Amino acid sequence: MLITLIRRELLNNLMTFRFAAATFIMLLLVVANTFVLINDYESRLVSHNNSVNMHKRQLQETNTYSAGEIRVDRPPNSLSIFNVGYDKQLGNEVRVTHIYVPSLWDAGMHGSSNPFMDMFASMDIIFIFEVILSLLALIFAYDAFAGEYQSGTLRLVLTHPVRRGNILVAKYISAMLCLIVPLSISLLLSLILLTTSTSISLNTDDFLRIGGIIFTSIVYLSVFYLIGLLISAITRRTSTALMLSMFVWGFLVLVYPNMILAVIPQHDAPQERKTSAYDKIEQVWQELDKERKQYLATDDFPGEDWGYELRGWGSRSSNFIMFGNPHTLIYKCRGVMKFTGFGEEDEYKMPHAQKHFRYLGPRIIDTADKTWLVRKPALEDIYIKPANTERIWLKLSPVGLYDAATKTWSGTDVRGVRDFFHAARQYRKRVNDFFLDTDVFGSRQWFSSDKEAADWSDLPHFAYQRVDSNINAMRALPDVCLLLMINVVLFIIIFLIFVKSEV
């Protein structure tokens, strides 16, 4: 019986104009945008590769260790085609140095040639789904009950010994099958386009993530279909159901996500949190400076502060400057020295200079690590926490949940981007260990290249691997579960209304 019902519904749906129109529009939009998105990804990849090569070249050209800037670049995420998230927006290169611990807030940006172009909203496949799938689901659902009430066919069906639950399930399954057709065809086409592109290589993990995205899309589709069914079951008239569905759609998709953040009170962390953390960080650095001065005072060399008296042909004096930015709580010390050589009269100072820097290097590393312990929780409080509160507000609409879940699947959410900076911090540890092991701080090449230039060939390599797909799944799980829960709740409500209703 159920099968007969499903077949009837399926035929009814498949023969309609809306089905043809829906499939056509989905295909058109998804394919057209996939082309654009792949092109965009490719150009970002090119700019990434250029930037990696440039950083490598610049490092090789640097003759002293202290002046060398080791930079690591975040490659563009191939799944950003599905949901671009923060992939294009947040910084994609960061300096790895012993003087501070790199974080998202110290990152720079390469590759965006025209900042004005950010004015135009960027589009991705999930956005198309967000808008169109929900619209389609409602268009399929609005007359499911209301239409049958009006035309009286429901009464006819119920004269047969059919359970009402069966009718509901049949309607649900057949409509979902119909709706999955345009979704899967368009996704398949875009996947084919993706795999034919030479610059994009998807591995097994990526396919698992895409599978997660497809699953989430189906769950999202189902939420809107059930919302439509609910409206249809309550209103009993097709024109009212249609009107109400459209307004609900406009509200959930168009109005709510844009309006809610303006309505809720702002959750900024208090300014004191910033200043107190900054003061603490500054204090830690001042302590180091004090220690350093003490060392210089008891040093066997009678000079005052090291570096100032060293004058090479480049005639740039080195100094130990400390400066910071209270906004992002960054604080660094700098002792850049670029000398090509020294005169004979400076030669006797060399051992002392080396000794000084050998003394200073590990201590700067320690101090930077110490300040990171203060800075990390402060940054969490100031930037991440308010952002998370706003995200929770957005998730009150299924659209927000869907967006968040797909972002997590593709790894373009804030956490996914921050993974890169975590990797950069790990890399910094390796670089520091390398510097300490090979006594780079105490070498002459640290500040001078007159005898021998710095040798960068043994420097550990940086490789960034995105997290496993099961970690993505773990992160996406809460949002997907919430979407599923909305499904179940809506289904139960519709069932109750439908069972109790008079025909």
Partner 1 sequence: MVWHFALFNIIWREIYDNLNSLRFALATLLLLGLMLTNAIVHLREHPERVQNYHNAVVEHHERLKAAADESLYKLAQKGPGYLPKKPSSLRFCAEGGEPYLSERAQGGHHRWGTDTLESFWILAYPSASPNRQNVRPVVSKVDWGFIIGYVLSLVALLFTFDAISGERERGTLRLTLANSIPRHTVLIGKFLGALISISIPFTLSILINLLVISTSSDVHLGAEAWGRLGIIFCIALLYTCLFLALGLLVSARVQRSAVSLVVLLLVWVVFVVFMPSTLASIAGRSTSSGPSLDFSERSEKLHEELSKEYYNNRFKEPADSHKGMQLDSEYVTKDAEQQERLHAERLNQRVEQVNRARTITRISPVTIVQHLLESFAGTGFERHLQFLENVQSYAREYRAFIDDTDRADPDSLNILGVPAGMSQKPVNPESVPKFEDTLNLSKDFNTAATELLLLVLFVMALISGAYLAFVRVEI
**5, 6, 9, 29: which one contacts partner 1 (CB under 8 A)?**
29
Please say which residue, 26 or 364, places its beta carbon nearer to partner 1.
26
Nearer to partner 1, 128 or 374 (CB): 128
- Does position 117 bind partner 1 by CB under 8 A? yes
- Rule CB under 8 A: say whether 110 interacts with partner 1: yes
Q: Residues 119, 198, 204, 437: which binds partner 1 (CB under 8 A)?
A: 119
Does position 131 interact with partner 1 (CB under 8 A)? The reply is yes
Contact between 396 and partner 1 by CB under 8 A: the answer reads no
How far apart are CB 12 and partner 1 at their closest, in Å?
13
Could you say which of 2, 10, 25, 467 contacts partner 1 (CB under 8 A)? 25
**Which of 111, 303, 324, 478 contacts partner 1 by CB under 8 A?**
111
CA pair distance 111, 44, nearest whole angstrom: 7
CB 407 within 8 A of CB 432: no
What burial letters (b/e) apply to 155-168, b meaning 16+ CB within 10 Å?
eebeeeeeebeebb
Closer residue to partner 1, CB minimum distance, 8 or 237: 237
Is residue 380 involved in binding partner 1 (CB under 8 A)?
no
Q: Which is nearer to partner 1, 134 or 371 (CB)?
A: 134
CA distance 492 to 481: 16
Span of 28-36, 294-302, 345-353, 426-434 interacting with partner 1 by CB under 8 A: 28-36
Task: Tell me the closest approach of the beta carbon of residue 69 to partner 1, in angstroms.
Answer: 14
> Phi-psi category of 343—alpha, beta or left, where left has phi over 0 and alpha has psi -120 to 50?
beta
Pattern 136-175, binding to partner 1, x per CB under 8 A?
---x---x--------------------------------
Question: Residue 289 and residue 256: Cα distance in Å, rounded?
Answer: 53
* C-alpha 130 chain-centroid distance: 18
Structure tokens at 65: 């260790």
| Closest distance of CB 170 from partner 1, Å | 21
- Alpha-carbon span 438 to 460, nearest angstrom: 12
Q: According to the binding rule CB under 8 A, does residue 75 interact with partner 1?
A: no
- Work out which of 5, 9, 33, 82 binds partner 1, going by CB under 8 A: 33
The only residue of 4, 49, 50, 184 in contact with partner 1, by rule CB under 8 A: 50
User: Which residue among 65, 82, 86, 129 contacts partner 1 (CB under 8 A)?
Assistant: 86
By CB under 8 A, tell whether 105 contacts partner 1. yes
The contacts of residue 193 (CB under 8 Å, 6+ apart) are 31, 34, 35, 38
Are 91 and 104 a contacting pair, CB within 8 Å?
yes
Give the relative orientation of helices 164-196 and 469-500 as an angle to the nearest 10 degrees. Answer: 150
Residue number with CB closer to partner 1 (54 or 488): 54
**Using the rule CB under 8 A, is 18 a contact of partner 1?**
yes
In the bound complex, what is the minimum distance in angstroms from residue 231's beta carbon to partner 1? 12
Please tell me the distance from the alpha carbon of residue 89 to that of residue 107, in angstroms, as a whole number.
Answer: 11
Please give the structure tokens belonging to residue 457.
Answer: 């060939």
- Which residue shows structure tokens 């105490």? 442
Contact with partner 1 (CB under 8 A) among 1, 14, 39, 340: 39
* Comparison of 55 and 292: residue with beta carbon closer to partner 1: 55
Residue 503 per-residue DSSP state: -
- The footprint of partner 1 on residues 195-254 (CB under 8 A) is 238-240, 242-244, 246-247, 250-251, 254
Measuring CA to CA, how many Å separate 153 from each of 149, 158, 173, 175, 205? 7, 9, 19, 18, 49
The size of the interface with partner 1 (CB under 8 A), counted in residues, is: 72
- Contacts for 322 with CB less than 8 Å, ≥ 6 apart: 285, 286, 289, 331, 332, 333, 334
The site string for partner 1 over 327-366 (x = CB under 8 A, - otherwise) reads: -x--------------------------------------
Q: Output the CA angle 261-263-267, nearest 5 degrees.
A: 60
What one-character-per-residue DSSP string does 96-152 give? E-SSS---GGG-B--S---GGGGGSPP--HHHHHHHHHHHHHHHHHTTTTHHHHHHS
Q: Judging by beta carbons within 10 Å of its beta carbon (0-12, 13-18, 19+), is residue 270 exposed, middle or buried?
A: exposed
Binds partner 1 by CB under 8 A, chosen from 3, 15, 113, 161: 113
Q: How far apart are CA 62 and CA 171, in angstroms?
A: 70
Is residue 384 within the footprint of partner 1 (CB under 8 A)? yes
Name the one range near partner 1 by CB under 8 A: 40-48, 59-67, 271-279, 425-433: 40-48
Compose the 248-287 pattern: x for residues touching partner 1 by CB under 8 A, - for all others: --xx--xx-xxx-xxx------------------------
> Looking at 363, 391, 422, 425, which residue binds partner 1 (CB under 8 A)?
391
Asked whether position 90 contacts partner 1 by CB under 8 A, the answer is: yes
Assess 313 for contact with partner 1 (CB under 8 A): no
Q: Kindly identify the residues of this chain, within the stretch 410-439, that bind partner 1 according to CB under 8 A.
A: 414
